[in-house]
Structure 1
C-alpha cells in the first residue's frame, strides 16, 4: 500500500465517522440548547435537569438510527477496507 492509498482510506474513515456520529451530536446539541434556554428562562440550575433528558434523547436517537450506523460502517468496510486488504 502506498501512502496515497492510506491517506485516502483514512479520509474515508474520518468521513464515515462524521456520518455515523452526526445524528447523536445533533440531538445532543439541540437538547442542550433547549434545556439551557429553559434553565435560563426559569432560573432553575439543576445539574440532573441537563444530564438526564440529554442522555435520554441520545439513547432514543441511537436506537432509531442504529440500522443506519451499522449499514454505513459495513458499507465502508466492504467497499473500502476489505478490497484494500485483498488487493495486497
Structure 2
C-alpha cells in the first residue's frame, strides 16, 4: 500500500466523519445560540437551561439521522476498507 492510498483513505474517512457529524453539530449550535439569546434577553443564567434542551435536540436529530449515518459508514467501509483488504 502506497502513501498516496493511505492518505486518500484518510481523506475520505475525514469527509465521512464530517458528513455524519454535521447534522448533530449544526443542531447543537443553533439550539445553543437560541438558548443563549433567550438567557441574555431574560438575564436567566441557569446552566441546566442550556444543557437539557441541547441534549434533547441532539438526541432527536441523532434518532432521525441514524439510518443515514449508518448507511454512510457501512458504504465507506464496504467501498474502501473491504475493497482494500480484498485486493491484498
Q: Aligning the two structures, in what range does the TM-score lie when normalised by the shorter sequence?
A: over 0.9
Whether 1:36 and 2:36 are equivalent positions in the alignment is yes
Whether 1:81 and 2:78 are equivalent positions in the alignment is no
Q: CA deviation at 1:21?
A: 0.3
What TM-score, normalized by structure 1, do the two folds share?
0.98
Map 1:38-77 to 2 at 5 A.
Answer: 38-77=38-77
Higher relative contact order (CA 8 A, sep 6+): 1
Length, aligned pairs only: 88
Q: CA deviation at 1:20?
A: 0.4
What TM-score, normalized by structure 2, do the two folds share?
0.98
Q: CA deviation at 1:53?
A: 0.2
Q: CA deviation at 1:80?
A: 1.0
Q: CA deviation at 1:54?
A: 0.2
Which 5+ residue runs of structure 2 have no aligned equivalent?
Answer: none
Q: CA deviation at 1:22?
A: 0.3
